Structures are given as C-alpha cells and as structure tokens.
Amino acid sequence: MEQLLDGFATALTPTHLLLAAIGVLLGTAIGVLPGIGPAMAVALLLPVTYGMEPTGAFIMFAGIYYGGMFGGSTTSILLNTPGESAAVVAAFEGNPMARKGRGAQALAAAAIGHFTGGIIGTILIVLLAPFVAKHAVDIGAPDLFAVMVLAFIAVTSVLGASRIRGFASLLIGLALGLVGLDEMTGQQRLTFGSLHLADGIDIVVVAVALFAVGEALWVAAHLRRKPFEPIPVGRPWLSRADLKRTWKPWLRGPVIGFPFGAIPAGGAEIPTFLSYVTEKRLSKHKDEFGKGAIEGVAGPESTASASAAGTLVTMLTLGLPTTAVAAVMLAAFQQYGIQPGPLLFQRESGLVWALIASLFIGLTLLLVLNLPLAPLWAKLLRIPRPYLYAGILFFASVGAYAVNADIFDLLLMFVIGLLGFGMRRYGLPVLPAIIGVILGPAAEQQMRRSLQLSDGSLTGLVNSPMAIVVYVVIVVILFFPLLKRFLPKPPVAPAEEREKVDA
Amino acid sequence: MSVKVWVAVAAALLAVLLVPPLLTPGADSGESNQVRALRVLVPNSPGGGYDITARTAAKAMEDADLLRNAEVFNLPGAGGTVGLGRTVGERGNGKLIMSMGLGVVGAVYTNKSPNSLLDTTPIAKLIEEPDIVVVAKDSPYTSMQQLVDAWKANPGTVTVGGGSAPGGPDHLAPMLIAKAVGLPPKTVNYIPFDGGGELLASVLGGKVAFGVSGVGEYRDQIQAGTLRVLAVTSKDRINGIDAPTLQQSGVDVEFTNWRGIVAPPGISPTDKAKLVEVFQNLQKTPQWREALQRNGWTNAFAPGDEFGTFLESENKRVATVLKDLGLA
C-alpha cells in the first residue's frame, strides 16, 4: 500500500502527469484513426523515448494503451468500422444505437465501461499480481479449448431468426478463418499461392469489410428508394433507465476480461464476445439485442479494458506478452535494460508502482476527456447519409491500406465487402461470420495443440481440472432446458416490464 | 455549423496526419559518405526482432551522423517473404534496404515464396543470438544427456516447444539436434507457439517437456531459478548463463539465430559499397555498442560478400532440414 502511495507521488509530478496526458491524447487519437493501432504507435514512439527516463516513457505508453481502447470503440460505434480487434464487439449493439440517435449514450456507456473495467482491472493488478503470476501458466491448451467450445455453444444465441442462415453465416466465417499457413505444420490452406494470404485474413479487415463496406453498399443500393433523412441525434446524457441497465454489465465485465487478459493467448476478442453473450442472456431486454441494447455496449467495453489490465499483469510478473501491445512494451522494457519477470517487482519496484499509479490517473484523464466528447462525436452522424457513407468507405479504405501499405489488403476488403453485401441481400446475419473468424482459428489451434501435447491421445483434451469444470458447465447449459421441464414453473414476468423500454 | 465546414476540417486533419508518412523524402545524395533518405523495410510487425534491430540500428546511425532522413517502415506478412518480394521487386534501388534474419530463410521454403534471399544483394550480417534448451525447475531432466536419452526412447511424448512457426529458428534448432542424436526429424513432436513469450508460459507450466528459444526473454526467469537451462546452442558458453554448449554435452550441433541487412538485386557497385561502409562504420559507434549490450546481442559483423557466402550456406542447411520434414 505504501508502495502504491509512493507510486502516486512519482506519477503525480508535473512531468509525469504531462506525459500521461500526452499518452492518453495520442492513444485516443490513434484509436479513432484507422490503420494505426496502439501496438504500432508504441513501436513508432520507442526511438523517441530513448532519451527519457524509463518511468516517464512507460507512463506514456500505458496512456496510449488504455487510450487506444477508448478511442477504438468510438469508430466502432459511430461508423461501424472497428479500428482494432478489441473493439469489434462494440459495433454489435453500439452501431444500431447510434443509428437510432442514441450514439452519445452508446459512447458514454462505452467510456464509463472502459473506465470501470480499467479501474477494477488495475485494482486487481495490485491485489492479485503474485497470485495470477503463479497460476496463469497452469492454464494450458486443453483449458483454452474447453473455453472455445463454450464460446461456440454461445454462438447459437447470435444466430438470428433463421437457424439455417445463421449457420451458413457461421460457416462462411469459419472458412475465412481457415485461410493461411497452417500454424502447426506450415502447410498452405486456401492461399491460392498468394503470399499475402499466408498469414490469414486479419479480423479487423473482415469486420470492417462485412460491417462497414457491406453496409455502405447496401445503403447505396437502396438510397434512391428510401426517404432521405439524416440520423437523429438525441439527448446527450445517459438517462436513469440507461444507468439502471448498465451498472451491472460494467461491473461484470472485469470478471470475464481480467482473467482472459492474464492467460497466455487470451487476448480481448473472445472475452468481449463472451461478455456480449452473457449480457444478452441476463438482460431483461433480450428483444432489443441486435437493435441497440445498451448492455451490449457497456459489458464488452468494460471487459476489453479489464483484459488490457490483465495483460499487464502477465507482462510485468512473467515477462510474458499476451497481446501485440504488450509485446512491444516488453521490447521497450528490454531497451532500457529492464527485464520484466518474477524479479521485476523487487528490482524496479519504484518504476512498477509508478506505472500502476499512472494507470489510475490515465483512466481518470480518459474518462474526463471522453465523456464530454461523446455528444460531439455523435453529432458526426448528422452528416447526410451519402456523405456519411462515403466518409465511412474512405476511412475503411485508409485503414485497410495503412496497416501494411499494401494494395492487396484494400482489394481483400472490397471483395469481403461484396460478400457482406450479398449476405445482407439474402438475409444472412453478419454477426455469426465475424464470430467464426474469431473463434475458428483459435479453437483449432488450441485443440490441435492439446492433442499434440498428449501425442494424439484424446484424453489430452480433458486432463486438466479447469477443462473438466468448463465441460461440466457446458453440459449443464445444454441440458438445463430439459431439466427445467421437471422443475416447477417460475411465475411469468409481468408484461408491462417490456413496455417501459424506451425506443 | 454547416456540414461543409466539418468535412473540410476532417479533410484537413487527414491530410496533415496521413500525407507525410506516405511520401518519401526525395533528397539526393550529397558528396560526403553520409547516406540520405534511406528507406529501411522491416518484414515483420512493429516490436518484432527485425523491427527492433532495424530501428535500433537506424537510430544509432542517425545519432552518429552516418544517415540522414532514414525511414523505417513495416511490411509484414508470410514470415517476411512479402517484404522480401518487395525488396527483390525494387531492382536497382540503392535507397532501400531490408532488415532480415534466419527466420526469413526458412519462410522462403514454407511459404513457397517465388523470391529467394539469394536474389538479393547482401549488405551485412549484424548480430547473433544463441538459442537455449530450457526446462522448468521441477522438470525431471537435469542434463542434456538425460533429455536426449528420454527423447530418443519416446519422441512422441517428449514434446518440444518453440517460439516460431515451422521453418523458423526455434523450429530448426531442435530438428538439427534431433538429427545429430540420430532421431529422424519427422518423429519430433514440435509444438509451435506464438513467440517466445507464449512458449515461456508452457515451459513454466510444464506443458511441454522442453523448450528451445532465444535467450532474450528468459534471462530474468533463469536468474530467479524458475527455469533451468540444459544447454546453449552457440559455439561458446554465454556470459551469465550456467550451462554447457551443445557440443560440450555431446551433441554435435552449433546453431545461432542471426540478423542482417540485404538490399535489392542489381544495385550499382557504388551504392553497394556505400551501404556496406555505413554498416561498417556503425560498428564503431558507441551508440551501437551500447545497444548491443542493452539487448544482449552478440556482435557478428560480416560485410557484403562474406555475408553472401554465409547466406548461401545457411540456405543449404535450412533446405536440408526442411526437405527431411517435407516442407521444402
């Protein structure tokens, strides 16, 4: 505790405060701009920070990291073009909200979600760092595969009205996920001899193409037939009803996000999706999901930030980067001759605690910066639709091109965009395809890794306690509807509840 | 406030933020031996090994006034072969160099890349980084000999983890070791992880029997005693790591991961000489020496043609291993 207070003392000096502010501003800007993710931003700034002392540099990097999370969901919500993979899920409900004129609320729910998720995550760093360090390495491929199976079961709840169309869409996603070099053996799959496809198709490209490009084409095809009206911009603040619906998702987010961030190969995509499905299940407003339910923004965003905090735990205590940004920050530590790992907290305790303190400060700065901006950003949608969608297409193209400065990515985005247009034309939901791209490769990798570890024996899939627990949970979920028949029926919820929902 | 104003503001912002990085500074070279407006292609993503080498070298050279207006940019993909394709495609361009290493040699085969490193103009080998054979502290293996015996008895269950995809350095090293001890590479149960970090967790958690990876990310864990190094793959022992070399443990393999610089094919002899000279001068700068120290890299400078010969022999060595595995 005393160390943390010392940390605050270090982090609150004017220089460090200024660096934190620069970091969060840069991070937000980078998150909003397409193409440059926080990982690249930190890498580009590395040489600039050589001259600085390490504490200041890391305070700035942490600001960029969290800032990127805040900014990333902005474009996701307003323009349906996620700038990075952690923000993909935010578009699911955030964009429908924005189109209903509730963009400001969606942005506010996301910002407060990031803040709560980040704060709780950072508190968990302080409390649990040694514990997590000890147990994160016990999580292996079989456990991760079990979680993937659970996630696949959860996909059924986003399939939409028609199961067949939902599954078709999921299969499209899984097929897209297969493209690339097989990671285990180095064989080529669906690459058609193109080197550009060897690394697979990036989830951000797929999401931007299916969401934004498909949508823009669809709107363009219907523009003449529909009355021309700009998207309304409603009241800027969260109403009491909104708050009532969001405070629980905000608090639930870290429970899912933090452990995922801390385990190797956890990342932010799968926990945000799991959070989305959980919120959908627990919500009293299930019918609103897909049309702009605020819980579906609040939960995943809080999860995303908490997973960012979890990532820092494993990076600091084990020297183990679980995301691209963490990998770059790890490289930065090494540049200063500091080796993150089990001895870091003893050797560099001043630096570590200042960094942790600066996370709290950075998050507060971000909230202060982003809340007032929410209504301003939302006004962006007042632009008439033709201009707006032209702008979206422009941003999407710049984003796809800027990542690798490669024309191929641009073509790929438009081809998948056409696919998205076709899917809309034939009533296929886009969501399951995105989930397929996220889950497919990850599940395959973990399953094959587990089987390889056990030298091909099937017991390798169930030989750890955590995997068994997860499978039991899956069985319970699957058979719960059957069990329910034998249980006395709960009283039917009063019908007025639904009518209270503001449209 | 009208829409037009907003659009104008947005466009202006975009122009300011996006246009400069897309344009190359077009200064011509002066008479001094300072190289201007050099572009450094990094064929993997920011934060990766080639990236750190390139950015560190560029920074050191700028500080020492050897370079002016150098621009480092990333073109990742297919283990570096996308960048290689671009470099080979820029025939005759004396203002472009590519940071690369052993990983690209293997990736050329696994990705069936139409371009080979032998098509490029070798400029310099810069650094080396040995691999280590490492187990968790509670592993039953305490010496390389023990590990090899168990491995030969049961190659399927004695799993090897590495931080690179098939064809990469961490994959080649265990295959070479297997060959040397008389185990067919095809029987090796190699499990690739996404970088040394993810592998570290699996070694610590005892998920894999042993890991083979660069020493960089593991120093702290080794010092803390949570990892045990059975052998280092380099010719000599490494400072600060209490482990014998492979040869001292009776395994006749010498292996180091290395990184260097190549340029497009067909550049003029003056351009080539100039680039080689710049990297030669880099060796003398205190900035570079300090960077080597900081990153734990071993200086392994080899200029132009010497590097070319080395590249050829490495290419052959990698090809033989990958052919045994059916990957080349």
The Cα A76–Cα A91 span in angstroms is 5
- Provide the pLDDT for residue A36: 67
Q: Which of A31, A296, A59, A262 minimizes the C-alpha distance to A143?
A: A262
Question: What element of type H or E holds A369?
Answer: helix A349-379
- Position A39 scores a pLDDT of 74
Alpha carbons A86 and A309: distance in angstroms, whole number: 13
Structure tokens belonging to residue B281: 């001068």
List pLDDT tens digits, range B16-27.
555 544 544 444
Terminal C-alpha separation, chain B: 63
What confidence tens digit (pLDDT) does each residue in A230-275 have? 566 556 677 888 888 888 889 988 888 888 888 776 678 888 888 9
* pLDDT band, very low/low/confident/very high, at A40 (cuts 50, 70, 90): confident
User: For B143, how many CA atoms within 13 A lie in the half-sphere containing its CB?
Assistant: 9
Average pLDDT, chain A: 82
Q: What is the pLDDT of residue B31?
A: 44
B82 and A406 in contact by Cβ < 8 A? yes
List of domains in chain B: 34-128+257-324 (3.40.190.150), 130-256 (3.40.190.10)
Phi-psi region of B52 (alpha: psi -120 to 50; beta: other; left: phi over 0): alpha
Q: Choose among B58, B112, B220: nearest Cβ to A342.
A: B220
Q: How far is CA B313 from CA B80, B123, B196, B319, in A?
A: 20, 16, 26, 10
Residue A203 has pLDDT above 90, yes or no: no
Among A479-488, B192-201, B312-321, which is the least confidently predicted range?
Answer: A479-488
Which residue would you say has higher pLDDT here, A184 or A105? Answer: A105
Report the pLDDT value the prediction gives residue A490, as an integer from 0 to 100: 57
pLDDT of residue A63: 86
Structure tokens at B205: 């958690």
* Predicted confidence (pLDDT) at residue A177 exceeds the cutoff of 60: yes
Tell me the nearest-neighbour CA distance from A456 into chain B, angstroms: 9
- The one-letter code for the residue type at B265 is P
CB < 8 Å to A320, chain B: 197-198, 200-201
- Which pLDDT score, from 0 to 100, does residue A492 have? 52
Number of Cβ within 10 Å of residue B214's Cβ equals 22
Determine which helix (DSSP H) or strand (DSSP E) holds B262, and give its type and residue range. strand B256-263
DSSP strand pairing (B39-42 vs A188-189): unpaired
Q: What is the CA radius of gyration of chain B?
A: 22
For residue A172, is pLDDT > 90? yes
Residues of A with CB below 8 A from B157's CB?
455
Beta pairing partners, A253: none
**Residue of chain B minimizing CA distance to A334:** B295
A387 vs B98 pLDDT, higher one: B98
A502: number of Cβ within 10 Å: 8
Following DSSP, what letter does each residue of A122-136 receive, concatenated? HHHHHHHHHHHHHHH
CB of A437 within 8 A of CB of A173?
Answer: yes
Structure tokens at A278: 């959980």
d(CA A91, CA A93): 6
- Secondary structure element (H or E) that encloses residue B40, with its range: strand B39-42
> What number is the average pLDDT over the span A472-484?
81
Q: Is B207 on the interface with A (CB under 8 A)?
A: yes
Sorting pLDDT into bands at 50, 70 and 90, what band is A197? Answer: confident
Q: A209-218: per-residue pLDDT in tens?
A: 888 898 888 8
A296: DSSP letter: H
Dist. CA A323–CA A492, nearest whole Å: 45
pLDDT of residue A491: 55
**In chain A, residues 252-271 whose CB comes closer than 8 Å to chain B:** 264-265
**Which pairs count as long-range contacts for A478-486, CB under 8 Å and 24+ apart, including other chains?**
A478/A153
Give the pLDDT score at B111: 80
Mean pLDDT of A38-64: 78
d(CA B24, CA B68): 13
Separation CA A502–CA A150 (nearest Å): 33
Helix (H, G, I), strand (E, B) or coil at A327: helix
Enclosing H/E stretch for A271: helix A269-282
> Closest Cα to residue A231, out of A72, A91, A103, A372?
A103
User: Which residues of A159-316 form beta strands (DSSP E)?
Assistant: 180-181, 188-189
8 Å CB contact of B216 and A327 = no
Angle between helices B49-63 and A38-49 (to 10 degrees): 30
Q: What is the pLDDT of residue B1?
A: 47
CB contact burial A391-421 (16+ within 10 A = b; e otherwise): bbbebbbbbbbbbbebebbbebbbebbebbb
* Cα dihedral A132, A137, A143, A148 sign: positive
SS (H, E, C) A240-265: HHHHHHHHHHHHHHHHHHHHHHHCCC
CA torsion, ordered A485, A487, A488, A489, to nearest 10 deg: -50
Q: B258 in helix, strand or coil?
A: strand
Q: Which residues contact A338 (CB under 8 A, 6 or more apart)?
A: A54, A344, A347, A348, A351
For residue B294, which residues of chain A lie inside 8 Å, CB to CB? Answer: 334-337
Residue B191 dihedral angles phi and psi, to the nearest 5°: -115, 115
Which of B7, B156, B224 lies at the smallest CB-CB distance from A455? B156
Q: Are A204 and B84 in contact (CB under 8 A)?
A: no
Helix axes A295-318, A90-97, angle to 10 degrees: 150
Q: Give residue for tokens 């064929």.
A: B43
DSSP secondary structure string for all residues of B58-72: HHHHHHTTSEES-EE
Q: What is the pLDDT at residue A438?
A: 83
The residues that bridge with A227 in the sheet, in sequence order, are none
- Among A374, A383, A416, which residue's Cα sits nearest to residue A73? A374
Q: In this structure, which amino acid lies at residue A140?
A: G
Q: Three-state DSSP class for A344? A: helix
Q: Are A77 and A106 in contact (CB under 8 A)?
A: yes
A340 touches chain B (CB under 8 A): yes
Among the partner residues B47, B76, B165, nearest to A186 by beta-carbon distance: B165
Q: Where are the alpha helices (DSSP H) in chain B?
A: 3-22, 49-63, 81-89, 102-110, 144-153, 169-180, 195-204, 219-224, 269-284, 286-295, 304-324
Q: How many CA atoms lie within 13 A of A499 on its CB side?
A: 3
Q: Identify the band that residue B11 occupies on the pLDDT scale cut at 50, 70 and 90.
A: low
Reported as a single tens digit per residue, the pLDDT across A311-334 is 888 888 877 777 777 877 877 787
**Would you state the pLDDT for residue A117?**
92
What is the percent of chain A where pLDDT is above 70? 91
Q: Which residues of B touch A68 (CB under 8 A)?
A: none
Residue with tokens 């340029």: B263
Q: How far apart are CA B195 and CA A311, in angstroms?
A: 15
- Give the A window 26-85 contacts with B, CB below 8 Å: 33, 39-40, 42-44, 46-47, 50
- CB neighbour burial string for B111-133, b if at least 16 within 10 angstroms, e if fewer: bbbebbbebbbbbbbbbbbbbbb
Calculate how close chain B gets to A230, using CA atoms only, in Å.
12
Cα separation, B128 vs A175, in Å, equals 40
When the pLDDT of each residue in chain B is averaged and rounded to a whole number, the result is: 82
CB A38, CB A65: distance < 8 Å: yes
Q: Helix, strand or coil for residue B164?
A: coil
End-to-end CA distance of chain A: 47
Q: What is the pLDDT of residue A50?
A: 67
pLDDT tens-place string over residues A320-378: 777 777 877 877 787 777 777 777 777 788 888 888 888 898 899 999 888 888 888 87
Give the three-class secondary structure for B127.
strand
Q: pLDDT of B66-97, one tens digit each?
A: 877 778 887 877 788 888 888 888 888 888 88
- Predicted pLDDT at A419: 94
The H or E element containing residue B136 is strand B121-136
Task: Check residue B6 and give its pLDDT.
Answer: 65
A193 interfaces chain B, CB cutoff of 8 Å: yes
Q: Which residue from B165, B217, B327 is facing A319, i.e. has the nearest CB?
A: B217
Residues 6+ apart with CB under 8 A from A360: A8, A119, A122
Nearest CA in chain B to A331: B47
B204: tokens are 């610590």
* Residue B254 · residue B233 · CB < 8 Å: yes
Cβ partners under 8 Å of residue A1, min gap 6: none
Most confident of A2-6, A65-69, A454-458, B189-193: B189-193
Mean pLDDT of A148-167: 82
Cβ-contact A398, A138 below 8 angstroms = no
SS (H, E, C) A108-161: HHHHHHHHHHHHHHHHHHHHHHHHHHHHHCCCCHHHHHHHHHHHHHHHHHHCCC
Tally Cβ neighbours within 10 Å of residue B43: 29
Instruction: Give the closest residue to A212 by CA, choosing from A89, A392, A413.
Output: A392
How close B302 gets to chain A, by Cα (Å)? 24
Structural domain boundaries in chain A: 2-483
On whether ipTM exceeds 0.90, the answer is no
Size of interface A-B (CB pairs under 8 A): 165
